[in-house]
């Protein structure tokens, strides 16, 4: 128990540091760019030395932090205020980053949280106040602050340097490119999946690591299609079995934890696994070695290990 608790806390602290550092960069990019918060990634992703997470990746990190923070704030009363502040900050960034998948899973989790842990109308109102009203107020203040400095920063940069800075040219054309790409609710992913399915000649064992790049020269944005491109039907079979097993243990942990709160780490881990399973529909997620994979493996271990008592 001590080892798993240590590893879980360590990973969570690393994720919080990642969130705070890159979240700050996103805020800076938002204030000095003409676009929205999501589009600020185009501005801050100019460094050759730092790999900046995409908005969907940072939103993923925020939701993992939010899940753990809300569970901890419910059961660890000594650190209640800290986790409440952290959960409010993380959910504010979830709204700002505007990832549809993350927002959908967040709303589902919030409804489940209210149904299981709010015993009266006052507690329900507190949840709405903390995780809906306060983040919206913070976002309004952020947008209002940007408008105040708009003439001083944005207009001055474009008027003096806009014709010489390619970065601002790309920012101006970015929304048009996005509108052309969004031909369906999956943002063009269905066409990519069709190409992977029909172009893959090695259907049994696949094309090796990053087989999606080999077939369509970009990510598959789906865990099963990535597995199909990389390791064929054999890999897909193994991947589906692992996913079903993890889903079973996650649901079992959530059901058992409705009346037992002796291990919040297990409960939070179960929710994170369900979230990563849903995210794998529109992202490669834990199918490759990444933050998703590390978190998935740790959470899966948290909910499946067998405690051995020495006599």
Most confident of 37-46, 183-192, 261-270: 261-270
pLDDT for residue 10: 93
- Give the residue with greater pLDDT, 242 vs 118: 242
What pLDDT sits at residue 170? 40
Which structure tokens are listed for 205? 């064992």
pTM for this entry: 0.83
Query: Is the pLDDT confidence value at 260 over 70?
Result: no
Least confident of 31-35, 236-240, 285-289: 31-35
Average pLDDT on 110-135 reads 88
Residue 209 has pLDDT above 70, yes or no: yes
Q: How confident is the model at residue 21 (pLDDT cuts 50, 70, 90)?
A: very high
Q: Nearest Cα to 94, choosing from 122, 70, 126, 124?
A: 70
**pLDDT score of 8 more than 70:** yes
Span 206-227, mean pLDDT? 86
Q: How far apart are CA 223 and CA 225, in angstroms?
A: 6
Burial of 280 (0-12, 13-18, 19+ CB in 10 A): buried
Looking at 84-88, 99-103, 150-154, which range is the least confident one? 150-154
Calpha distance 219→187 (Å, rounded): 13
pLDDT tens digits, residue range 173-187?
Answer: 334 334 444 455 566
Using alpha carbons, list the distances in angstroms from residue 260 to 113, 183, 254, 264, 282: 15, 46, 10, 9, 33
Note the pLDDT of residue 3.
84
| pLDDT, position 153 | 54
Residue 263 pLDDT = 77
Tell me, what's the pLDDT at 83?
Answer: 87
**What is the model's pLDDT at position 113?**
87
């Amino acid at each position: 128990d001590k080892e798993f608790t240590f590893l879980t806390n360590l990973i969570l602290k690393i994720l919080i540091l990642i969130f705070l550092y890159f979240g700050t960069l996103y805020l800076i990019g938002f204030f000095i760019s003409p676009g929205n918060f999501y589009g600020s990634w185009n501005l801050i992703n100019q460094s050759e030395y730092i790999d900046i997470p995409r908005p969907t990746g940072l939103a993923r990190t925020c939701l993992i932090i939010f899940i753990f923070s809300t569970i901890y704030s419910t059961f660890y009363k000594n650190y209640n205020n800290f986790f409440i502040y952290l959960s409010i900050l993380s959910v504010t960034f979830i709204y700002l980053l505007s990832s549809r998948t993350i927002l959908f899973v967040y709303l589902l989790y919030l409804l489940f949280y209210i149904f299981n842990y709010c015993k009266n109308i006052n507690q329900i109102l507190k949840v709405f106040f903390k995780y809906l009203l306060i983040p919206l107020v913070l976002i309004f203040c952020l947008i209002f602050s940007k408008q105040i400095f708009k003439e001083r920063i944005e207009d001055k940069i474009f008027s003096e340097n806009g014709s010489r800075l390619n970065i601002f040219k790309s920012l101006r054309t970015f929304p048009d490119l996005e509108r052309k790409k969004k031909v369906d609710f999956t943002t063009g992913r269905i066409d990519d999946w069709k190409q992977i399915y029909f172009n893959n000649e090695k259907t049994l064992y696949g094309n090796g690591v990053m087989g999606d790049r080999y077939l369509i020269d970009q990510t598959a944005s789906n865990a099963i299609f990535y597995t199909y491109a990389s390791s064929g039907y054999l890999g897909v079979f193994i991947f589906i079995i692992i996913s079903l097993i993890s889903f079973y243990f996650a649901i079992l942990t959530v059901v058992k934890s409705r009346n037992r709160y002796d291990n919040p780490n297990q409960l939070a881990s179960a929710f994170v696994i369900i979230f990563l399973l849903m995210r794998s529909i529109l992202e490669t997620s834990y199918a490759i070695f990444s933050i998703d994979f590390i978190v998935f493996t740790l959470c899966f271990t948290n909910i499946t290990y067998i405690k051995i008592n020495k006599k």
